[in-house]
Amino acid sequence: MSPHLSKEFLVQLGDQYGTPLYVYHAEKIKEQFEKLKAAFSGGDTRFFYACKALTNINVLKYINSIGCNVDCSSGNEVLLALRAGFPANRILYTSNNIAFSELEAVASHGVNINIDSLSNLRKFGLKFGSSYPVGIRLRPNIMAGGNLKIATGHESSKFGIPIEQLEDILDLIRETGITIRGLHIHTGSEIKDVSVFLQGVEILFGLADHFPELEFLDLGGGFKVPYKPGETGTDIDLLGKKLAEAVTSFERRMNRKIQVWFEPGKFLVSECGFFITQVNVLKPTRTINFAGLNTGLNHLIRPMFYDAWHTIENISNPSGPIKKYNVVGNICETDTFASDRELNEIREGDYLVFRNAGAYCFEMSSNYNARLKPAEILIKDGRPRLIRKADVFEDLLRNQVILDEGV
């Protein structure tokens, strides 16, 4: 049975730890990982959790403990992954427009590296020659992803080396002797259509001949998860089946073996997360019923930034009559979480819980309006554990230098 946190339990957590509060359910992460393994069991597949979605060190440790690898987008994420106990060979670093010094620092740990520009590929090749084989991130010129901000593979995207620059890559290999062991693409986030992934892998198959040392094709992340009731995500079972067929026929044709890598972020952690908030103020107006929360876009930016839908439930009054609300925050600019949303009747003080609050929620939070970041809780084996304390006032001043002489 799918792991589940009851409404009563979430209310208890709100009472015990205070709100706003991020809650993550470890067993749900495991369930998602098991789904991935089962769906792609027809081939030689490796999964690297895109930890940019949620980097709490305890979540990283848990992900390590269930045998999933990790994908990092910055030198600091690599350091966090090492601190969480991942060995270097289970860490992948997929860079984007970073200083060469960061690549050098990351390479000193011996992790797997994908390089996304000709400029850095050249510097890396000149420094390491064939001694440090790498993957290269390519731009496949495919438009995909839930919205333009999270579409990364299209023709005007800054990400990766455009595939039409293949000759330049080959020149660099000849010039520096660098070994290319992987080809990477990440076309976007929230890609529902399995044919996008298949189209991507076919593009990589078409290039494989130029890279005799190739060990893996990395298709990035981007699996869609359901956010709205009744919505479906990427059909990973279908994708797994189709991909296995495509890879088998490629392997036969080329007479070589190839691994497929994925870097799922949302798929692993989106649904494990719950954001518990409390209603400060009810403001009925002529046209709209506002429910004003004790949080805002500073804690959960996805609705305002991506027009993202998060399912919201009134866990304090689950059988109250249904009414329509605009659920809004307490920040000094428009921060609407949901408009015209049907919810069980809200009273001031009620807890509203946001679902899908695991991926890119706490991780993208800020101290805007000098508000404090919330605490994070991890539930494992039914037991809640505090994994981040809420900010206190002093945190706001922690890195500020208070000039003695005044300003």
Binding site for ligand LLP (CB under 6 A): 50, 53, 71, 94, 150, 186, 189, 220-223, 263-267, 302, 306, 359-360
What is the length of the chain?
407
Residues 6 or more apart whose CB falls under 8 angstroms from that of 343 comprise 291, 312, 313, 314, 322, 323, 324, 325, 327, 352
Which amino acid makes up residue 317?
N
**Cβ-based nearer residue to ligand LLP, 27 or 263:** 263
DSSP annotation string for 339-376: EEEEEE---TT-EEEESS-TTTTGGG---GGGPPPPEE
Which amino acid makes up residue 26?
A
b vs e for 284-307, b when ≥16 Cβ sit within 10 Å of the residue's Cβ? eeeeebebbbbbbbbbbbbbbebe
Residue 272 is among the residues annotated as catalytic for this protein: no
Rounded to a whole number of angstroms, the minimum distance from the CB of residue 188 to ligand LLP is 7
Q: Catalytic: which of 68, 72, 272, 332?
A: 332
By DSSP bridging, strand 383-388 and strand 312-314 are unpaired
Phi, psi angle pair for 211, to nearest 5°:
-125, 85
**Cβ-based nearer residue to ligand LLP, 235 or 251:** 235
Rounded to a whole number of angstroms, the minimum distance from the CB of residue 321 to ligand LLP is 33
**Cβ-based nearer residue to ligand LLP, 139 or 266:** 266
**Cβ-based nearer residue to ligand LLP, 187 or 278:** 187
Rounded to a whole number of angstroms, the minimum distance from the CB of residue 220 to ligand LLP is 4
**Cβ-based nearer residue to ligand LLP, 153 or 374:** 153
Task: Say how far apart CA 107 and CA 109 lie, in whole Å.
Answer: 5
Rounded to a whole number of angstroms, the minimum distance from the CB of residue 305 to ligand LLP is 7
Rounded to a whole number of angstroms, the minimum distance from the CB of residue 320 to ligand LLP is 30
Report whether 116 contacts 160 (CB < 8 A). Answer: yes
**Cβ-based nearer residue to ligand LLP, 134 or 150:** 150
Burial class (CB in 10 A: 0-12, 13-18, 19+), 242: middle
Rounded to a whole number of angstroms, the minimum distance from the CB of residue 70 to ligand LLP is 11
Indicate the Cα dihedral angle 22, 27, 31, 32, nearest 10°.
30
Q: Which residues are catalytic?
A: 332
